Amino acid sequence: MNQKKPVPNPDDPRLSREVEGVDELGHPKSIKVIEERPLTIYLNSQEIVTAMTIGDYPEYLALGFLLNQGMLKATDQVTAIDYDEELEVAVVRTTSPTNVEEKLEKKTRTSGCAVGTVFGDMMAGLEGLELEDTPVNTSSFYALSYKVNHTPSLYMETGAIHGTALCQGEEVLAYMEDVGRHNAVDKIAGWMHMNGVSAADKVLYTTGRLTSEMVIKTALMGIPTLISRSGFTAWGVDIARQVGLTLIGRMRGKKFTCLSGQHRLIYDQDLNLVVDESDKMQRKGARLG
């Protein structure tokens, strides 16, 4: 229940470890690799899912996952989030049983696949949703991109990890990393909920691809702008257009591509002032992710 601004902590010894091997010549080589561990998330007494995570901010991850899956409504009263490090379990508790628990109860008596309902629920959450029509300055994209890529991070230490930053104007409010790009977004959602942070004037920046699930999560969080260094999927674009999300991809150096919600962009950046990414500065893993 950390109230301070969360940023990556590359020095946390629980999050990475030095591993010995060899290089292409057979010479000993030791590199730092990211940890990956299971976290089983419960909603009250109902086991929901086991996520693979680096293991920081388990409470935010559990809460954000349930919110983003539509399993927990913003109006549900969360009374506690209990995390047991040894058992690798996080339990989100509410005052009264949620709608989802009843649904799962029913579902398990029929087809037996509780998690099969999840995607349908997420899509249902989008019905009638229209995001705030907040104008957004392209100059902030360049500023945020620079900040995120120059913040000390586990990515820089170990690679093989994704980052997501919640931003307002040119400020990064929270920056989460995880082996699963969805986990990083879920942690942001959990942090926002626990700190009562509003969404309509925010921008979400991710290093991951703009898949349907990433777009759905952003929309359900109420954030009207999503930016990525990586590419798009067609369905992700379709959903963004449906809910009025401004979707920016392939953002590197001077360049970006906007495939949805372009009417909200204010082109206030003098592109002559933007440094094109040199190879050394380039965040590796730009278009995939």
CB of 66 to its own copies, least distance (A): 14
Number of other CB atoms surrounding residue 216 within 10 Å: 25
Residue 236 binding its own copies, by CB under 8 A: yes
| 80 vs 71: CA distance, rounded Å | 16
* Residue numbers 163-202 binding its own copies by CB under 8 A: 179
Strand pairing class (89-94; 78-84): antiparallel
Residue 270 binding its own copies, by CB under 8 A: no
Strand pairing class (46-53; 28-34): unpaired
Residue 235 binding its own copies, by CB under 8 A: yes
231, two tokens: 């590419």
Among 85, 257, 275, 281, binds its own copies (CB under 8 A): 257
Residue 233 binding its own copies, by CB under 8 A: yes
Residue 115 binding its own copies, by CB under 8 A: yes
CB of 202 to its own copies, least distance (A): 21
Strand pairing class (265-266; 255-260): unpaired
Residue 126 binding its own copies, by CB under 8 A: no
Buried/exposed code over 138-168 (b: 16+ C-beta within 10 A; e: otherwise): bbbbbbbbebbbebebbbebbeebbbbbbbe
CB of 237 to its own copies, least distance (A): 5
CB of 86 to its own copies, least distance (A): 17
Amino acid at 170: E
CB of 219 to its own copies, least distance (A): 16
Among 230, 243, 245, 264, binds its own copies (CB under 8 A): 230
